[in-house]
Amino acid sequence: MAVVGSLSPSRAGDFMTCPLLYRFRVIDRIPERPSAAAVRGTLVHAVLERLFDLPTGGRTPEAALAMLGPEWERLLESEPELAGLFEEGAAGDAERDEWLAQARRMVERYFTLEDPRRLEPAERELFVETVLDSGLKLRGYIDRVDVAPTGDVRIVDYKTGSAPRADFEARALFQMKFYALVVWRLRGRVPRLLQLMYLGNGEVLRYEPDEADLRATQRKVEALWQAIRRAMDTGEWRSRRGRLCDWCDHRERCPEFGGTPPPLPVVRVGRPSPAGPDGGAAAEAGAVAGPEGAARERDEL
């Protein structure tokens, strides 16, 4: 089957938030500055992933907190530009200390939500992908997959922000239903439970999907892709003002704030379109980082 494009929940979320944001990230590929909140999310996720490398009895709050320093050094080694998150001098040192203190509080809060000594995840940071009958490839990374002795699957995602208000819960669950759809197609079994763990305020959102949910999610994803294709064909990438605009790197070029988008890039003959079957991988780079770092940025290969 020919692949017509590629989509992750992050990029689908971009388009739903603001089609112009999707264009800036996927078509123009304009670099964005790493935010302190997003990097903190990356750090906390790394600690929680590596926590399960320890023997069962060693998965304690003290052990997890002891990982924060080494994991931060590991991040700095792989991405030296992150050192520029904080200014030099006393003010920058104080900001970094508070940033790390917030990360510590999130790690400690995790232990109030579940006991990792009683868990043995089947998968961590699991890359999944599947191709729909339409040729659209769905792909992404799942924080954790738990499998019960009965074969029931639980998909777990850590969020370093706070739980959304009730009217935003459906949006928060879209990412999880997207993952559940991929897992269902890969394994032939609907995941029993989707679990979002909000480390910002210690709430847990749980949802039990069924086949009707996931079929509806597939229809929504395919409709989104058709809308993206129409924007590609017409060159009309509409801006949409929303609550995340205050944290957007693209305000200076956004019409909502008096800016002008750059000319659309010209795709050279012989090169795939950024949104085509090969260049579509660009659509998998990163995650939307909200005001509290509810998702971290990373490359999805």
Residue 75 covered by a domain? yes
Residue 63 covered by a domain? yes
Residue 77 burial (10 A CB sphere; 0-12, 13-18, 19+): exposed
Residue 110 covered by a domain? yes
Query: Three-state SS string across 223-251, please?
Result: HHHHHHHHHHHHCCCCCCCCCCHHHCCCH
Residue 266 covered by a domain? no
Series of mean pLDDT values for 10-residue runs along the chain (301 residues): 90 95 96 92 97 98 97 95 90 92 98 97 97 96 97 97 79 93 97 97 96 97 97 96 91 96 73 40 34 34 24
| pLDDT at site 243 | 86
| pLDDT at site 267 | 57
Domain that holds residue 71: 36-117
Residue 140 covered by a domain? no
- Half-sphere exposure (CA, 13 Å, Cβ side) for 97? 7
Residue 160: name the closest of 92, 98, 109, 86 by CA.
Answer: 109
| 192 three-class SS | coil
Residue 20 covered by a domain? no
Could you tell me how many residues make up the chain?
A: 301
> Are 268 and 14 in contact, with CB atoms under 8 Å apart?
no
Alpha helices in the chain (DSSP H): 9-17, 19-22, 36-51, 61-78, 90-113, 169-187, 211-234
Rounded to two decimals, the pTM is 0.86
| pLDDT at site 272 | 38
Residue 40: name the closest of 94, 104, 125, 88 by CA.
Answer: 104
Per the structure, the count of domains in the chain is 1
| pLDDT at site 63 | 98
Residue 167 covered by a domain? no
